[in-house]
């Protein structure tokens, strides 16, 4: 995208360069951020980038998600029992949407569709959207949204082809909206109060965040709120995606397992 057009689009949705990070230019490629080590498509977190999962992730047009958080060095998030954790200025929440080639067999690979960033600066949270190229070598900044055709085999062995819609930056606020303010909605105590394997066996995420200095003043896992089992969805079926391999060689399964996918009955809407 030409710089003049990019600046015009960013300005038209209230996302000027000054509101992003002083006079720093917005990276045009996801790789420029340095969030991942090694092959970018492997989504292996670099030092200081921590994977997390939600107990009840939103449905997103049959796509699966990888989630990560990066805080500025030397900072911590403040625990909140009811709302999203109070993340410090400079925090980035990272979410990659992908489709397994075959929901029955994670070894057959996956196709990354988009990576969304929520970045906290002095004036609030800002959203950026990066769309993955067909070669799966990098993702490119996209302000106006995009559509791509994706094929996959669901957990019952049926092959599907669908148009996956990626939102423009204005549409991000349709989900991440608190009193007309763009905000994260996922990383609450209720959603994080569950296990994740960080390479040494499952550990409660709130406990891990406290032990590693990511979170201050948390309640113990036993005191933190839980998802009500009466309203929580059934456990996902299928196979787990390839595990995250940390730079030190540790292994972490950083996302939910694949859900049973069936053909959409209506044109898909932008995923949240």
Structure confidence at residue 50 (pLDDT): 96
Q: What DSSP line would sit under 240-271, residue for residue?
A: PPPPEE-TTS-EEB-SPPPPP----SSPPPPP
- Which CA distances in Å does 216 have to 71, 105, 186, 209? 13, 39, 18, 9
Listed range (2-6, 40-44, 188-192) with the worst mean pLDDT: 2-6
What whole-number distance in Å separates Cα of residue 248 and Cα of residue 228? 36
pLDDT digits (tens, 9 = 90+) for 79-133: 999 899 999 999 999 999 999 999 999 999 999 999 999 999 999 999 999 999 9
Task: Identify the band that residue 58 occupies on the pLDDT scale cut at 50, 70 and 90.
Answer: confident
Place 25 in a pLDDT band, splitting at 50, 70 and 90.
confident
- What per-residue confidence (pLDDT) applies to 112? 98
Window from 28-37, 176-185, 205-214, 235-244 with minimum mean pLDDT:
235-244
CB 251 within 8 A of CB 245: yes
pTM of the model: 0.75
Averaged pLDDT, 202-222: 85
What's the mean pLDDT when you consider all of the chain? Answer: 77
């Amino acid at each position: 995208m030409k710089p003049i057009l990019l600046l015009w689009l960013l300005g038209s949705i209230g996302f000027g360069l000054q509101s992003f990070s002083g006079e720093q230019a917005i990276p045009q490629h996801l790789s420029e951020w340095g969030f991942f080590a090694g092959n970018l498509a492997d989504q292996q977190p670099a030092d200081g980038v921590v994977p997390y999962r939600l107990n009840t992730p939103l449905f997103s047009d049959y796509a699966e998600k990888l989630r990560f958080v990066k805080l500025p060095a030397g900072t911590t998030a403040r625990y909140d029992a009811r709302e999203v954790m109070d993340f410090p200025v400079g925090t980035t929440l990272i979410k990659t949407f992908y489709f397994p080639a075959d929901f029955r067999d994670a070894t057959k690979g996956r196709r990354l569709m988009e990576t969304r960033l929520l970045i906290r600066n002095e004036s609030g949270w800002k959203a950026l959207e990066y769309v993955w190229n067909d070669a799966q070598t990098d993702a490119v900044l996209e302000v106006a949204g995009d559509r791509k055709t994706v094929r996959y085999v669901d957990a019952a062995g049926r092959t599907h082809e669908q148009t996956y819609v990626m939102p423009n930056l204005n549409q991000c606020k349709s989900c991440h909206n608190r009193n007309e303010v763009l905000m994260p909605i996922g990383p609450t105590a209720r959603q994080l109060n569950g296990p994740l394997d960080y390479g040494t066996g499952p550990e409660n995420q709130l406990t891990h965040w406290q032990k590693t200095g990511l979170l201050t003043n948390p309640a113990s896992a036993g005191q933190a709120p839980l998802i009500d089992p009466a309203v929580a969805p059934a456990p996902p079926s299928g196979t787990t995606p390839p595990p995250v391999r940390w730079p030190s060689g540790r292994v972490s399964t950083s996302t939910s397992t694949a859900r049973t996918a069936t053909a959409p009955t209506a044109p898909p809407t932008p995923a949240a």
